[in-house]
Amino acid sequence: MRRSKRCNGLVLLFVHQGWSMIYYHTMAKAKVAVTIDARILGDLDALIAADRFPNRSQAVEAALADKINRLKHTRLAREAAKLDVKQEQAEADEGLAMDAAAWPKY
């Protein structure tokens, strides 16, 4: 049996058969009020009912953290969008033609 409890900014993890406890500090949290579409809330509650998340707060926090992380890691797509496809293809073809002349005959 595994159980965790939040207590004064600490998360306590109890493992029944191993009789171990883990204490660690968590970041300060703030309460916010949000308006969510009823269909999304239904999907969220279904995830909670399926034991994917313990409660709505943790499910929303995980979703926000995932979205923020994805937005932070979009530099490659932004830089690739700046490229001129025709120019890049022409340069690649030019390089291949130059390389092909230097290849030994088999």
Domain boundaries, the chain: 1-29, 31-96
d(CA 33, CA 103) in angstroms, rounded, equals: 66
Q: Give CA–CA dist 7/66, Å, rounded.
A: 26
Q: Percent of the chain beyond pLDDT 70?
A: 68
- Token duo for residue 76: 């490659």
Q: Is 34 left (phi over 0), alpha (psi -120 to 50) or beta?
A: beta
Q: For residue 21, is pLDDT > 90?
A: no
Q: What is the pLDDT of residue 1?
A: 47
